[in-house]
């Protein structure tokens, strides 16, 4: 009974690791969307053509998805929350590179976008697995639906705010401001590691 939000809130109260995983997903996705959407504009201001911008975005997408099978293996071997923390560290490196990137084409923006994609992959795979594993079976679809909605709303807000920041202070300021989101990701990972020690994943009944 009740709404999906209510059932999800109940599941989070019962298993706090779910809340940290959902927050980690939302903060990670917001970080990636905010910086990625403004990168083409930053490059165009430096004189980069559409062909070069397309290559850099392709490198970013490569980082997002090419290593997913390896990320899954790492999450199995090292644990979900530690891989979420690793994703946060990679995102920090990505943002520092982007913050140092001059307008136009540069190795900093290319490497930064690659690492932005890789950090996103590490965090998304691990945190989404935490959600799937720890959500009680009877409300799992509710929890996953709310998680997706929160992630989407946060990303939409990040895209809008990113434009305001870049317009007022520039692309490097956006990258530096996004560090605050990644600090949140690392905090979620640390709390998930602590909660995970006393919280067993929900087992499927077969």
Q: Do the domain assignments include residue 170? A: yes
| Token pair listed for 4 | 């999906």
Calpha distance 65→3 (Å, rounded): 34
Q: Please, which pLDDT band fits residue 202 given cuts at 50, 70 and 90?
A: low
**Average confidence score pLDDT of the chain:** 94
What's the pLDDT tens digit per position in 92-137? 999 999 999 999 999 999 999 999 999 999 999 999 999 999 999 9
pTM of the model: 0.93
Q: Do the domain assignments include residue 40? A: yes
- The whole-number pLDDT of residue 206 equals 36
What's the pLDDT tens digit per position in 129-167? 999 999 999 999 999 999 999 999 999 999 999 999 999
- The whole-number pLDDT of residue 198 equals 45
Q: Do the domain assignments include residue 7? A: no
Calpha distance 36→118 (Å, rounded): 13
DSSP string, the chain: ---HHHHHHHHHHH-HHHHHHHHHHHHHHHHHHHHHHHHHHHHHHTT--HHHHHHHHHHHHHHHHTTHHHHHHHHHHH-HHHHHHHHHHHHHHHHHHHHTPPSSS-HHHHHHHHHHHHHHHHHHHHHHHHHHHHS-GGGHHHHHHHHHHHHHHHHHHHHHHHHHHHHHH-HHHHHHHHHHHHHHHHHHHHHHHHHHTT-PPPPPP-
Q: Do the domain assignments include residue 6? A: no
Overall average pLDDT of the 18-44 stretch? 98
Q: Please, which pLDDT band fits residue 191 given cuts at 50, 70 and 90?
A: very high
Overall average pLDDT of the 184-194 stretch? 96
Q: Do the domain assignments include residue 1? A: no
- The whole-number pLDDT of residue 51 equals 96
181 CB burial (10 A radius; 0-12, 13-18, 19+)? buried
What's the pLDDT tens digit per position in 74-103? 999 999 999 999 999 999 999 999 999 999
How many C-beta atoms surround the C-beta of residue 53 within 10 A? 19
Provide the domain limits for residue 56: 16-196
Indicate the number of domains in the chain: 1
Q: Do the domain assignments include residue 89? A: yes
| pLDDT at residue 170 is higher than 50 | yes
Taking CA atoms, 184 is separated from 28, 31, 188, in Å, by: 9, 11, 6
Q: Do the domain assignments include residue 169? A: yes
Taking CA atoms, 30 is separated from 36, 104, 153, in Å, by: 10, 23, 9
**Domain with 144 in it: what CATH number?**
1.20.1250.20
- The whole-number pLDDT of residue 2 equals 73
């Amino acid at each position: 009974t009740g709404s999906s939000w209510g059932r999800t809130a109940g599941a989070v109260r019962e298993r706090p690791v779910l809340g940290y995983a959902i927050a980690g997903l939302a903060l990670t996705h917001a970080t990636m969307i905010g910086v990625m959407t403004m990168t083409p504009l930053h490059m165009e201001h430096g004189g980069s053509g559409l062909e070069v911008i397309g290559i850099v975005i392709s490198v970013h997408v490569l980082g997002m998805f090419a290593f997913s099978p390896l990320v899954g293996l790492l999450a199995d071997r090292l644990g979900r929350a530690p891989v979420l923390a690793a994703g946060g560290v990679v995102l920090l490196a990505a943002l520092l590179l982007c913050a140092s990137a001059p307008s136009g084409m540069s190795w900093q923006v290319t490497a930064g976008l690659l690492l932005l994609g890789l950090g996103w992959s590490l965090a998304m795979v691990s945190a989404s697995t935490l959600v799937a594993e720890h959500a009680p079976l009877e409300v799992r679809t509710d929890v996953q639906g709310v998680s997706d909605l929160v992630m989407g709303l946060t990303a939409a807000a990040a895209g809008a705010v990113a434009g305001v920041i870049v317009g007022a202070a520039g692309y490097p300021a956006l990258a530096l401001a996004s560090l605050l989101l990644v600090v949140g990701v690392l905090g979620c990972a640390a709390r998930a590691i602590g909660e995970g020690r006393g919280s067993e994943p929900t087992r499927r009944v077969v």
